[in-house]
Every structure is written in structure tokens, then in C-alpha cells.
Amino acid sequence: MKNILYIGNKLAQQGATATTIDTLGPLLQKEGYQVRYASSVKNISKRMLHMMRMTYLNRKWADVVLIDTYSTKNFWYAITISRICKSLNIKYIPILHGGNLPSRIEKNPKAIKHFLDNAYKVISPSDFLSSAFINAGFNNIIKINNFIEIENYPFTERSITEPKLLWVRSFAEIYNPQMAVLVLKELKEKYPTASLTMVGPDKDGSQMACKRLANSLDIKVTFTGLLSKKQWVELSKSQNIFINTTHFDNLPVSLIEAMALGLPIISTNVGGISYLIDNGITGKLIPDNDVNAMVKSVDELITSPLECDTIIKTAKKYAHQFSWSEVSKDWRALLDV
């Protein structure tokens, strides 16, 4: 299957955070596949129409359609495109991303069954999603890891004597960014020079809410806005702890990136995070929205440098299984038939 139509939100050039379509597509092209995309249209309704139109226009060209599949409103474009593919007798492969996707099994059982049962194969980047859908009776699930181009993430040795927290995500309520601000406030009681840098675009007004919270608490937080991968990787060299505050998640690439960079991770234990982070081994896990637990974990990393160093080195080694040089083998095995 050499000709691929890739359906997803290709909006990085519109100022949004890069998603899998922005990274996987070009890498598949480098591997020799022909890839066409839909869609970069900013308006959501027009983007859906463009996806539908591209699917129809490429019905004779495409050997397969890859469909990025999320758990919120973008779930429905995946359903729509899959039905067009079925009517046109085109193979399609959903790539599961949304950490809350398993909830669709109960919320929309008929839609999810039709969607997955008629797929050529279904790609899950995590054991969390694989287990959920296999346990629900779907037998065409293949695990292919998320990936990074690991050579673009240079490991930095760090001596952590004060917390310099780095948070990288789109500002949205489901990612709970205000928790990071509250963590900084508590840390300043013991570490007056503690800092927090938050990287990412605003999706739903959460960034402004964070700024208001920081102002009300009289603490300084650095908001960089959206940065390119290269920019935030460079920024990471001056930070020393990566925090992840999300309410829902699957297998965020940012955590793999942090491991490769040598940043110890503290994350909420939600969704598929525990399938990625082994608590106390490759990072630290805390209950959802537990500010005190995150503050305690930060303090433990600083006051137990040997444990912190072991976590960093173990995580770095673990991150290598997510390198594109490894993951590309699985994509070739799937597509070269």
C-alpha cells in the first residue's frame, strides 16, 4: 500500500500544536510512501467538508486511508470518513489517540462497532487503549508505539537544587493547567526561587484563567505561547523538572520527549499514563488534581538526588524504544503488503 490519504487536523501551520498527521505523514514520505493530506482548513465545518471531498476525489488513487481518531468532537469526522471509505470500498486504518476513547464504547456502541469492525486494521499507540478495545471484543487492534526522532532531543545532565518546572501542552480544561500554577505557589514556601514555564497555545480560554490565577496569587509564571519543537527543546535545557497535570490522557509524546531530554517527570496517573511511566522507576505518578502530592514529589526529586538520577537514566534508556528508527519497522510491516 504505497498511496496513502491521511485524514486529520493538520493545523500546525495555522498556529495549533503539531499532531500526529504533522509528524507521521512526512516520515512516511521519507520512507518512500506517497501521502496526501486533509485537512489544513481552519474552520471546523469547512475542514470536515474538505476531508470528505478529498476522500471521494482520491478514491481510485488511495490504497489506504489513515484516520487520526480522537475522543471529543473530532471523533465524528473519523466516523464520517470511515463510512465514506466503506461505501467506496477503500481500506481505512484508524489511529487511536484520545485518552477518553474507551468511553465511546458505552456512549456510542453502534458507531464505534461499525467504525472499528469495518477497518482494515486499528492502530493503538498504547497498551491502555489496546487493552480497552480488545477487552470490548475488537480483534483487529495492532499496537504501534508513538514515536519521536530521538536524535532531535539531546540529553542534558542536570543538577537539581531548586525547582524549575516545565509544562508543555495546549491550554485546555482537560489538561488542568491551573494545577501547575497552584503547585508553584506551594513550592515557593520552601523554594522561594522556584519557577514555572508553561509552553503551548490557548484552546479554550484556559491560558487567560492561568494568568489571572497567577496574578491573584502574586507569583510570576512564564507563558511562552506556542513554540516549535526546536524552540521548546532549546528552552528545556534551562529547566529541570517536567510536570504533566492532565485529567485525561493516552500516551502523550511530550512525556517521551521529556525522558529523552533528561527531564524527570511528575504526572497525574490518569488514562494510559501508567502504561508509559513506571512509578518511581521512569517517573513519578500522583493522583489526579492532587497539588500536595505533586509538590511532595518535586521535593523528593530535589532531596533524593541519587533516586532522581536513577529515574532520569532509566527513563532515557526507555525512551529509545519510541525512536522512529524502531517504530518505522512496525509501520512498514503494516503497509508493505
Residue 336 placed within a domain: no
Give how many domains the chain has, as a whole number: 2
The pLDDT of 246-257, averaged and rounded, is 91
116 and 204 share a domain? no
Residue 330 placed within a domain: no
pLDDT at 14 over 80: no
pLDDT for 319: 96
Q: What is the mean pLDDT of the chain?
A: 95
pLDDT for 12: 80
34 and 58 share a domain? yes
Report residue 336 as a C-alpha cell. 508493505
What angle do helix axes 75-87 and 44-57 make, rounded to 10 degrees? 20
Instruction: Give the CATH number, domain containing residue 291.
Output: 3.40.50.2000
pLDDT for 178: 98
164 and 133 share a domain? no
139 and 233 share a domain? no
| Span 229-240, pLDDT tens digits | 999 999 999 999
Spatial CA neighbour of 129 closest among 228, 256, 226, 273: 273
97 and 181 share a domain? no
119 and 226 share a domain? no
pLDDT for 67: 98
| Span 89-147, pLDDT tens digits | 999 999 998 778 888 988 999 999 999 999 999 999 988 899 999 999 999 999 999 99
pTM: 0.88
82 and 216 share a domain? no
The pLDDT of 211-225, averaged and rounded, is 98
| Whole-angstrom Cα Rg for the chain | 20
pLDDT for 13: 78
The pLDDT of 325-333, averaged and rounded, is 96
pLDDT for 194: 98
